[in-house]
A and B are shown apart, each in its own frame.
Chain A
Amino acid sequence: MSKPKFAMYWSGSCGGCEIAVINIHEKILDVDANFDIAFWPVAMDAKVKDVEALEDGAILLTLWNGSIRNEENEHMAHLLRKKSKILVAFGSCATEGCIPGLANLAPLHEIFDVAFHTISTDNPQGIHPQPVTKVPEGEISIPVMKDRVYTLAQVVDVDYYMPGCPPESHQIAAVIDLVIQVLQGKAELPPKGSVIGAGGSTVCEECPRKRGVKTIKAFHRIQEVAPVDPDICLLEQGVPCNGPATRSGCDARCPNVGAQCIGCYGPAEGVIDYGARLVTAFASVIDATEPEEIERILDGIPDPTGQFYRFNLADSLFRASASSFKKNGQSPAKASGA
């Protein structure tokens, strides 16, 4: 009796999610014992054509990490959706766009304008990469980039969401245990659309720091106050910590070492817009009633867009900044190379 198939694919991602899976250490043996790994480019030599050759739904479980940044990502999303019974949006890129989603703050062509004209780039002809290039031997192609970063669920139907940048390994291990129990008929899958491998509360609940009444008279940048008092809530010490709006599940590792939570586990349960929730949380703790005083305190957060949407921009209510919606594709070259 053959084992059910498993796949893991990365799409415009950094590889951190793959490392997080490897960091379940011996537990990877349980994956191997219970699944046939059908497609995992980082580790196995199976190619895209091998996936295409499978029947629809042949892969029981696919963990997809990475956002939809270009048309190849989108094509693979549709392919793996077709070939998989269960598709999990794994990690922050897949669930909410993650930090590369910040590219949605500018029109696509600016990425090219910057990258191919940096101070160390020698490009007098203004060459930009082209989707198709004629070389002496024929034509070669690279994927066209989409106008902005999309999450997995914005292009295909997703069964489960596992947040985190990356998801912490103990959470991954717990999810694997659950899936194996399901395979053995000892447990049921949660309802479709659930968030798995994370908690139902906020990071504050897992944070060991003591919380009192917050009355902020100033926000500080971490280098102005480090090392912080190890026992007291970071936000109370004026460090803009995103814990109050961020989903629990990570054990508050960053506050544990004296660094603020930057929100990599995404919105807490029930939050519709992560940034809006943080606006509320931060505004509530400011101790001032006069507009000038309030504005002065707010100046302590020099980059509110980044602070509030670092990981979540591509999945926020706005999705992107106004300028990025300009109708434009990849910027054309002044002269095609070769």
Chain B
Amino acid sequence: MSEQFEPVIIGFTCNWCSYRAADLAGTARMKYAPNVRLIRLMCSGRLDPTFIMKALAGGADGVLITGCHPGECHYIEQNYKALRRYLLLRRVLKGMGIAPERVKLVWASAAEGTKLTNEINTFVEEVRALGPLGWNKKLAGNGHVVEELAAEEVAA
């Protein structure tokens, strides 16, 4: 019997809304999948797309970004920056042959512990369905031409 693939997901959560929601979920003993490793940022607007790329290139299978609802950003408008970066980044990922669905942006307020739990669980299943990305393994190959070309091989 094969082991189920357990996605590794990095979750960038903004301090003011979604991190508090995660806290709330924790204290209310709401179960959410352990696949998501949370990293707290002061604001979703702090999210440099480099973080997402580093996570994926480093072995993560998915990245979840959570921030305050539009209009509720603690720093006024920075969650819109996160939104714009996210939308542009998805296009770049697509161009790299990486399913853009591996990166997801979710709005959650401090009171929405249940919502956040559900979003996390849903995302884990979505990434599980996509399968492992394994980018760090791809990069570890030493790049030499792998096989001797046998006479009976045909062109791909």
Contact = CB atoms under 8 A, between A and B. Distances in A.
Q: Do A and B touch directly, given a CB cutoff of 8 Å in the complex?
A: yes
A60 to B, nearest CB: 30
B156 A109 contact: yes
A71 B85 CA distance: 39
Contacts of B154: 332, 334
Contacts of A277: 50
Interface stretch (B3-11, B25-33, B76-84): B76-84
Given A283-B84, A294-B87, A298-B87, A308 B92 contact: yes
Interface string A317-338: 1110111010111111110000
Interface stretch (B14-22, B35-43, B112-120, B133-141): B133-141
Nearest to A144: B145
A289 interface: yes
B149 interface: yes
A332 B155 contact: yes
Given A318-B96, A318-B135, A276 B84 contact: no
Interface residues of B, number: 39
Interface string B53-80: 1101100000000000010000001001
Contacts of A304: 88, 91-92, 95
A292 B139 CA distance: 35
Q: Which among A126, A321, A330, A332 has the highest number of chain B CB atoms within 10 Å?
A: A332
Q: Chain A: interface secondary structure?
A: mixed
Contact of A147 (B53, B70, B143): B143
A282 B155 CA distance: 42
Q: Which among B49, B147, B150 has the highest number of chain A CB atoms within 10 Å?
A: B49
Interface of A: 71, 105, 109, 113, 126, 128, 130, 144-148, 150, 272-273, 275-277, 279-280, 282-284, 286, 288-289, 291, 294-295, 298, 303-305, 308, 316-319, 321-323, 325, 327-334
List 5 A-B pairs, minimum CB-CB distance, nearest first.
A305-B95, A322-B97, A283-B84, A329-B145, A276-B50
